[in-house]
Amino acid sequence: MTTAYDLAKAQYADWGIDTDAAIDRLRPISISMHCWQGDDVVGFEQQSGASGGGIQATGNYPGRARTPDELRADLEFAYGNIPGSHRLNLHAMYLDTDKSPDRDAIEYDHFAPWVDWSKDQGIKLDFNGTFFAHAKADDNLTLSHPDAGIRDFWIEHGKRCRDIAARFGAELGSPCITNVWVPDGYKDTPIDRMAARRRLEASLDTMFSPAQDATHMKDAVESKLFGIGVEAATIGSHEFYMGYAIRKGTVLCLDMGHFHPTENVADKLSATALSVDELLLHVSRPMRWDSDHVILLDDSIRAMADELVSGDILDRTHIGLDFFDATISRTAAWVIGTRNMQKALLESFLRPLDRLRATEDALNFSERFMMTEELKGLPSGAVWDEFCRRMEVPSGQTLISELESYQKRVAGRD
Ligand code: RNT
Ligand code: ZN
């Protein structure tokens, strides 16, 4: 019997594209799925409350994970419905312990259950310091705070996160990408931006000064444009961190919600990758602001995937996700969002890249235009379905049933 995939394969072959090769390229790509979609960025500290720092999950859909065990169960379900093997991006406030260490006192042991679980599941970990949702971050100043005592508190937090991350990496045999995002900024126009930036730079230098083995952990820094409550100035702006990452050799994190809304974040990949060795992405969907909507298979995500593939920077880009929506099933958000990133990559692998490049090099923009638009009619969905079939995960209506029945099971939690 001829399958939809057989027809798709033939149609692509007509363009000189090998669909099996595209599937083989997609299979090993591991996406770092963020833990915080599962519980609306609340975490498991005893005193946890609002996320603060201008980050806001809105909605009260039933089923929020309230404990590490619930979050892990939800993650297992999600990974089970995403083809391939993927990473987990943890935040420091997701510790799993009956102790209540303050942020400057966290230790590996507080996270050890996550490592046991990761080993069991065959998952690798990434990590983030949590520099928000804390009394010492209430002024939206942490590493750049004028008070050295507050800066030291957060520097200690960051150092401990790096030690914990290095142990994650050593235990799991894969470098743990350890990201720093701080909310630091001012609501109204500051008098001395330079002083604040010098303080942030000095704090980062101190925090990063203990050497870590790059085979166990790598530091990343994440910029932002603005946040609620820090409209006038963000100390860790894009230019600040781009310069910092280039000078200090850290990974540069680009969050798609952290630029002016009309900027094309995909354009920044090749531009920055010439100056930094490695990139970290927070793939996200800003709507009017850094709203962290779940990513769709839309043109902004396709553009990111196309640039990673055309620019040949996939192997030095860590693809992380950063979205959270509390108005829909949280597990569905993870599964559909992560699969959308994979679908975009698959579509990028299904382009006749050499031919497209040749039209551009020959300044044959008419042909480039005709090709890009006609290619959109090819049946990439049939190739995706075949990928899911080979990876033994559902797609289409079967997937929807799976997502719905899991959501029913967790709906009674609150
Ligand atoms: C905030 C940053 C940051 C957070 C996570 C929870 O604007 O995007 O990455 O979303 O660390
Ligand atoms: Zn982010």
Question: Does residue 39's CB lie within 6 angstroms of at least one atom of ligand 1?
Answer: no
Q: How far does residue 118's CA lie from ligand 1's centre (Å)? A: 23
SS3 call for 292 = strand
- Specify the pLDDT at position 55: 78
| Pocket test residue of 322, 323, 324 for ligand 1, highest count of atoms within 8 A of CB | 322
On the 0-12 / 13-18 / 19+ scale of CB atoms within 10 A, 299 is: exposed
Among 90, 95, 92, 185, residue whose Cα is nearest residue 137: 185
Active site residues: 181, 222, 224, 255, 258, 282, 290, 292, 322
- Whether pTM > 0.95 for this model: the answer is yes
Among 84, 86, 1, 83, residue whose Cα is nearest residue 35: 86
| Pocket test residue of 48, 161, 228, 255 for ligand 1, highest count of atoms within 8 A of CB | 255
HEC-encoded secondary structure of 112-148: HHHHHHHHHHCCCEEEECCCCCCHHHCCCCCCCCCCH
Q: Cα 193 to the chain's mean position, in Å?
A: 29
User: Of all atoms in ligand 1, which is nearest to the CA of residue 257?
Assistant: 8
Q: How far does residue 143's CA lie from ligand 1's centre (Å)? A: 16
* Ligand sitting nearest the alpha carbon of 281: 2
- Specify the pLDDT at position 52: 73
- Specify the pLDDT at position 63: 96
Q: How far does residue 191's CA lie from ligand 2's centre (Å)? A: 27
Q: Which residues have CB under 8 Å from 290's CB, separation 6+? A: 54, 224, 225, 226, 227, 255, 257, 258, 284
Q: Could you report how far apart the first and last alpha carbons of the chain are, in Å? A: 49
In tens digits, the chain (414 residues) has pLDDT values of: 999 999 999 999 999 999 999 999 999 999 999 999 999 999 999 865 566 777 789 999 999 999 999 999 999 999 999 999 999 999 999 999 999 999 999 999 999 999 999 999 999 999 999 999 999 999 999 999 999 999 999 999 999 999 999 999 999 999 999 999 999 999 999 999 999 999 999 999 999 999 999 999 999 999 999 999 999 999 999 999 999 999 999 999 999 999 999 999 999 999 999 999 999 999 999 999 999 999 999 999 999 999 999 999 999 999 999 999 999 999 999 999 999 999 999 999 999 999 999 999 999 999 999 999 999 999 999 999 999 999 999 999 999 999 999 999 999 997
Question: Does residue 41's CB lie within 6 angstroms of at least one atom of ligand 1?
Answer: yes
Nearest CA to ligand 1 atom 9: 181
